[in-house]
Amino acid sequence: MDLSDQVLVNLRKIIRAIDLHSRSLVKRYGLTGPQLLILKEVSAAGEKSVGDIARDISLSQATVTDILDRLEAKGLTSRSRSQADKRRITVKVTDKGREVLRRNPSVLQESFVDRFQELPDWEQSLLLSSIQRVASMMNADGLSDNPFLVGSSVREDGKPQLDSVSNPQSV
The pLDDT tens digits for 55-92 are 998 889 999 999 999 999 999 999 998 788 888 889 99
Q: Find the CATH number of the domain harbouring 56.
A: 1.10.10.10
Question: Count of domains in the chain?
Answer: 1
The reported pTM is 0.67
For residue 41, what are the domain limits? 3-170
| Residue ranges in the chain assigned as alpha helix (H) | 3-29, 33-45, 50-57, 61-73, 95-102, 108-117, 121-137
Provide the β-strand partners of residue 77: 93
97 alpha carbon, distance to own chain's centre: 17
The pLDDT tens digits for 2-49 are 999 999 999 999 889 888 888 888 898 999 888 999 999 999 999 999
Cβ contact 33:21 at 8 Å:
yes
